[in-house]
Amino acid sequence: MGRTATIFLAALLNGSLAHATSPQDPLNVSNNMAQETVECAAYFGVISIALENSNKLDSSKEYAEFRDKALERAAVVTTEQAGLKSETVGTRFKMAAEDMSKRINMNTSNISILMADYNDLCIEVMTDVEKRGRYWTKKGLEKQQ
């Protein structure tokens, strides 16, 4: 992720988290957003493999790029926003990818199982950071009540 994109992401997160009611809320929101972004990276990675298996190499490459962008974003949110160790991203990615592989029984022909759960969510995660920040902030506020 470029420096400008990193600054933009940090500004969006800080702006969307400004309404949190306790000092821990911004960290929890950032942690949730980082986790969600890592899960999307794993999803994009599994889709990339499924497309490669279907001999759709251009599409496979495109999803591999989405995976890489999601991992870059997750690294920024994890370390700079949530204050977690950078190795958290790799560990979470591995866990999510393993879970998804089990859900489809290690058979990319079952990819629709993952698409139903992740496709729309991951598009939103990658295209509307502010909306996801508001979602997680609202979730945190609901837990406090």
18-36 pLDDT, tens digit per residue, is: 444 443 467 888 999 999 9
pLDDT score recorded for residue 26: 79
**Is 15 within the bounds of a domain?**
no
Helices 87-103 and 112-127: crossing angle in degrees, nearest 10, is 150
Domain interval for residue 69: 26-135
Say if residues 78 and 86 touch (Cβ distance below 8 Å).
yes
* Banded pLDDT at 53 (limits 50, 70, 90): very high
> For residue 45, what are its two tokens?
């990675």
**Is 33 within the bounds of a domain?**
yes
**Is 11 within the bounds of a domain?**
no
* 122 pLDDT more than 80: yes
pLDDT score recorded for residue 144: 74
Q: How would you classify residue 22: left for phi > 0, otherwise alpha for psi between -120 and 50, otherwise beta?
A: beta
pLDDT score recorded for residue 94: 97
pLDDT score recorded for residue 98: 97
Say if residues 126 and 40 touch (Cβ distance below 8 Å).
yes
Q: Mind spelling out the 3-state secondary structure of 81-125?
A: HCCCCCHHHHHHHHHHHHHHHHHCCCCHHHCHHHHHHHHHHHHHH
Q: What mean pLDDT do residues 45-73 have?
A: 97
**Is 61 within the bounds of a domain?**
yes
pLDDT score recorded for residue 24: 42
**Is 52 within the bounds of a domain?**
yes
pLDDT score recorded for residue 7: 42
**Is 97 within the bounds of a domain?**
yes
pLDDT score recorded for residue 82: 86
**Is 117 within the bounds of a domain?**
yes
- Domain count of the chain? 1
The CA distance from 14 to 26, in Å, is 8
**Average pLDDT of the chain to the nearest whole number:** 86
**Is 12 within the bounds of a domain?**
no
